[in-house]
Amino acid sequence: MVGRATRPTALASTPGLAPQPQVQFSDDNARVSAVLPTGESLEILLYGATVISWKDKNGDEKLWLSDAAKLDGSKAVRGGIPLVFPVFGTAPDHAATAKLPQHGFARTSRWEFLGKSTSESAPGQAADLSVKLDFGLSSPSLDSETQAKWPYSFNLIYSVTLSRESLTTSLVVTNDDDKPFDCQVLLHTYLRVKLTNPSTPQKDIANVEITGLSSASYVDKVDGATTKTQSSALTITGETDRVYTPSTPPSDPVTVLEGGKTAFTVVRDNLSNVVVWNPWTDKAAGMADFAPKDGFKNMLCVEPGAVGTWQTLEPGDAFEGAQTIGIGY
């Protein structure tokens, strides 16, 4: 299991091969990190299998992590990429998940590291190198209280793949029970918005627009959960909490532009929704683990998921969803 004393402190490349990705564990086995030979890096907590850092070759951080985020396993991490399963938000009218905490239990459970795999590259050709880290969570590993609240037998495999210009996260949900269950899945990604104008930092988020959602219907949770249609590029000018159902295929990217230049592209695989969230002033002020309080100026959540309806899995069935986040230079 995850905490076994014999776990190696590092998984190194084989001597004689071209430079390979390096994977290491923290001394307390609480987190896993990976670094490509070209400098890109990744860090993941086993608590929640939460990606807490993703840096490009220049060492620039691509994810926003609250300065007050709890990284000790005491509560869900504010920032990075928390995993939402088996319920998005709360669902008091859905009997099977009514007793679960907000966003379910995947982000607050201890996951098992299952191993790494790397792409092969010819000597001197590191451009196509990547590393994939796999994590697992299943019903027997949940505490008794959580099992009582959601008494289904399941298996989750979460894979995080770091390449030179992208990060891919995918989740496979398998129903190991003898009865069907409903679930929702979301990749709650906090993207970091750059300080494009340090002299007027209050305008940073105003330099951002999101394209790829035009003509999409969305539920505006800030405006009484009314259903609306996006008519043009989206800009953030206040508290934003929207669940989009894009009219375009998942392979068509949602693009985050900073000052008119591409900062991120988000491509979905089998995930029909995109949540866009920014807490703005008042909500950020009310969250104890959100810091600095003006950090909403430097973050934007673009969250692929399957949350518009319930995914019903029959015994033995599986659901898989993924996102690939590309970065612009």
Max mean pLDDT range (13-22, 194-203, 263-272) = 263-272
- Report the binding-site residues: 78, 102, 107
Rounded to an integer, what distance in angstroms lies between the CA atom of residue 192 and that of residue 196? 12
DSSP 176: -
Residue 111 confidence (pLDDT): 98
Q: Tell me the three-class secondary structure of 96-107, residue by residue.
A: CCCCCCCCECHH
Strand partners, 192: 299
pLDDT tens figures, 82-122: 999 999 999 999 999 999 999 999 999 999 999 999 875 55
- On the question of pLDDT at 174 being above 60, the answer is yes
Q: Which residues are known catalytic residues?
A: 188, 303
- List the chain domain ranges: 19-327
Mean pLDDT of the chain: 91
pLDDT interval class at 38 (50, 70, 90):
very high
19-327 CATH pick, 3.40.50.200, 2.70.98.10, 3.40.50.10800, 3.40.50.300: 2.70.98.10
Nearest to 36 by CA among 169, 166, 140: 166
pLDDT tens figures, 119-134: 755 555 555 689 999 9
For residue 171, which amino acid is it? L
- On the question of pLDDT at 185 being above 60, the answer is yes
pTM over the 0.75 mark: yes
Rounded mean pLDDT of 1-16? 49
- On the question of pLDDT at 240 being above 90, the answer is yes
pLDDT interval class at 144 (50, 70, 90):
very high
- Report the binding-site residues for substrate: 78, 102, 107
Rounded to an integer, what distance in angstroms lies between the CA atom of residue 131 and that of residue 162? 5
pLDDT tens figures, 191-200: 999 755 555 5
Residue 18 confidence (pLDDT): 74
